[in-house]
Amino acid sequence: MVVLESCWWQGAIGVVKDIITQVKMRPSNTISILLALTEACVYGAPTEQCKVPHSLAPPPPAPEPINIRQLPLPPVIANETQGACTTDVNPLGTGCVPAALEERFQGGGFLPDGRHVLAMVTFAGAPAAPDPASIYEGEHIIIIKTTEGDRFTNGDPWKCITCGIPAQNSRGRAPGNGYPQAFRDGKRILAGTNIIDCESDLASDDCTPEKTNVYAIRQSNTADDSGPGGQIRELRIHPDNVHLGFSMATVNDGKFDQYSYLGRLQFNPSPTTGSEPLAPRYDVVNTQTLFSDSQKSVYVDSNNPGQLVINKSAIIIGELRGFNGDGREVTYVGYPHESSNIDVFAADLTTGAVRRLTEHPEYVDPIDISAHDDWMVILDTRFTERQMWLSGLRRIPPITDLVSTSATSSTRNNGNRRFFQPWLLDRYGDRGDYFGQQINAAGSGVPGSGAINDPEWNTRADPRWSPDGTEIVYWQGLTEAPACGGENPLPCYPSTEPGGRNARIMIAEFTSRDPKPPIKDVPTVPDVVPWAMKYVPGAPSPKRIPPPPGNYTLKGKCQGSASVTLIDQSNSGFLETVRVTYNGFSDDGVNVLNGWEEVTSVNPSPTETKIDWYSDLVQTGPDAGTKKSGEEGFHLLIDVWLNDFEANGTLVTTVGGKKYTQPANGT
C-alpha cells in the first residue's frame, strides 16, 4: 500500500504542475485545460502516469440504438468495354461502375447541409463521344442523397460533380481524388490534392460543369520554388477552412518515415514558378512541420547518462489523422505508450498538451471527432484478435518499439484484407473496461452473408460525422483474392451487392439523438505552432534521433527496473537491436513485469522491415500474462505499403488464460 500511495502522489503532483502551467498559458479556457489534463493523465493512461481513483472518470455511456442502411450507387456493368453502359443498364444515361470497384472507390464526408455525402467512384463502359453519356468515364467525385427516396433533378440519388468539366477549367489538375471532404461554404471540395470549386452550392442545379473549376494544391519543396512540389498525402481540411493538414513521406538512413504538416491554403490565380502548366492553383504557405527536436519519447537522462527516461507527454506525430471539432487539436498516430500498441493521440496546437485517445491493445488508425467535440468514431481491429499475439500483454514500456514500430504497425492488414470495424467512443476515449460500442454490431456476423457486420466486408478509411452529430458515413470493401482463395487458406465469398459490386457505402443513424445546431464558424488558428518547426522548402527533412547505443537502466515509476542494451550492429549510425531485461518492473505498483526481450530490425529496402524477435516475459497482477517466442524465435519480413504477412517461428501472448497466436501466413 505504501507503494500505491507514493505512485498516486507522484502522479498527482505532476498533474497539479501541468494544470498551473497550462492555466497560465490559456487563462480564458481554464475548464478545457483542466479537462484535457485530467484526460491525458487519468483517462488516457490511467496506470502508467498516475494511480488515481477510477471514480474521477465519468461513467462510460450506455450503448445506444443505431440504424444502418446502405446508400445507392450507380448501376453495375459486367465488363468495362466502351459502350457497355447501355440505356438498358442505366436508362438515365448517368454512368455505370464496374463490379470490381473497391480499389477505385472511396467514401467521403458530408456536405455542410448534412443531407448529402461525397464519394470518389470510377465510371466505366461509357459510350464514345459525342454521346452526352461519354463524360461518365474514369475517376470522378459524386454527391449522394442521404435521405431515402430523395432524387436530384436528373432522376438519380447521386450527381457527378466532376464529369464534363471543360478542359480549360482544370488545366493544372493533379491526378487522384482520394479522401473527398467538403469545405464549410458548401461550394468547394478537397479531393486528393485538388480543390473542386463551384460558383454555386454543390448540390444545386446551378452547379454545372461550366461553372466548376479544379485547382491543384501545391506545397513548394525546393529553395527556388521550381518543380511540381512535394508529394503530399493524407490531406485533411482544418475546421477553420483556411488551413490544411497533411503528411509527406521520406527516407532517413535507408528507412521509410513520414512527417506531418500544417499550412495555410492561399489561392494563386497567376503562378510564375513551378511546373507547367502554370495554371491557377492553391499554394500551401506558412507551413509548419509538426515536429520538434526537443520532443522525444525515449531519451537519456541528461543528469544521469546511464539512465533512460520515457516521456509519454512528448508530441511524436507519425501520420496526421485530422483535427478535433474546433480545430484546437491535431489528431495523429503516435509513438506507443505501451509496447507494440498503436494508438491515436491529440495534441493542442497552442500548448502542446497531449491526450491519448485510445488504449485497446489492437490497432487503430482512422478517426473522426464530431463537430461538437463530444464523440469520436474510430476504425480499429479491436476484438478481432488480429494484433493480440503481439500487443495483448499490457503495461510493457515502449522500448523495443525504437526498432520495431514499422513492422508491428504493418501486421494490422494482410495485403488488401482489412480487419477494421467502426467503433463509437465518447470524448474521453478508452478507459478502464470501456472500449466503446461497435457501430455495426447488429446482424448475423456470418462470413459471406453480406450482413452489416459480415467480417469479410472490411471497413475502410475514413469514417465521417454529420454536422449535427446524428449520423456517421463509412464505406467497406469485400475481401478478394489474393487475400483469400487460391493458395490462401481463407475462402473467398461472392458479393451479395447489386451486380456483384465489391464496395459499398453505409450510413449509421443514432436514432435516439436530437440533432445539434451546425457550427458555422471556427476561429482561424495561427499560422505558427509554438512547439513545431518552420518548414523550409528544399531543406532536408528532420530526423528522429533515438538514444545512442549503450547500456542503460530504466527505472519503474513505482518499483523495479529494466536493463536496456541498445546496439548498432553494423555501425550504420542508427539502432538495430534492443535488448531489455525486466526485474520486478512496475509503473503502477500493481502489475509487475519480469523477463526479457530482444528485437533486431533491419531494412532490406526503405519500406521493408525484417524483424528477429525473441521474448520471454511474465507479468503478475491484474493484467497478468506472458509473451513468449519459440526456441527458434519469431522472424518477420513485411512491407509497410503491402502488409503481406509472412513469418517464421512463433510469438505467443497469453492473457487471462487465453492464448493468442500469430496469424497463419497469407491470412
Would strands 559-567 and 550-555 be described as parallel, antiparallel, or unpaired? Answer: antiparallel
Report, as ranges of residue numbers, the positions in the chain whose pLDDT lies below 70.
1-57
pLDDT, tens digit, 9 for 90 and up, residues 363-384 = 999 999 999 999 999 999 999 9
Helices (H) and strands (E) counted in the chain, each on its own, are 4, 37
Report CA-CA distances (Å) from 452 to 102, 439, 475, 479.
Answer: 17, 10, 11, 14
- Residue 7: its pLDDT value, please? 59
Would strands 533-534 and 116-123 be described as parallel, antiparallel, or unpaired? Answer: unpaired
Mapped to the 3 state alphabet, what secondary structure does 458-508 carry? EEEEEEEECCCCCEEEEEEEECCCCCCCCCCCCCCCCCCCHHHCCEEEEEE
- Residue 57: its pLDDT value, please? 64
The Cα 322–Cα 237 span in angstroms is: 8
Beta carbons within 10 angstroms of residue 378's beta carbon: 29
pLDDT, tens digit, 9 for 90 and up, residues 138-197 = 999 999 999 999 999 999 999 999 999 999 999 999 999 999 999 999 999 999 999 999
Is residue 50 within 8 A of residue 313, CB to CB? The reply is no
- Residue 26: its pLDDT value, please? 41
The Cα 565–Cα 118 span in angstroms is: 51
Q: Cis ω on the peptide bond leading into residue 547 (within 30° of 0)?
A: no
Residues 6+ apart with CB under 8 A from 472: 368, 377, 422, 424, 439, 463, 464, 465, 466, 507, 508, 510
The Cα 147–Cα 113 span in angstroms is: 12
Burial class (CB in 10 A: 0-12, 13-18, 19+), 47: buried
- Residue 185: its pLDDT value, please? 96
The pTM of the full predicted model, rounded to 2 decimals, is: 0.92
**Residue 519 grid coordinates:** 457550427
The Cα 323–Cα 327 span in angstroms is: 5
- Residue 37: its pLDDT value, please? 45
Paired with 655 in beta bridges are 625, 658
In order, the DSSP letters of 287-348 are: EEES--TT--SEEE-TT-TTBEEE-TT---EEEEEEE-TTSSEEEEEES-SSTT---EEEEE
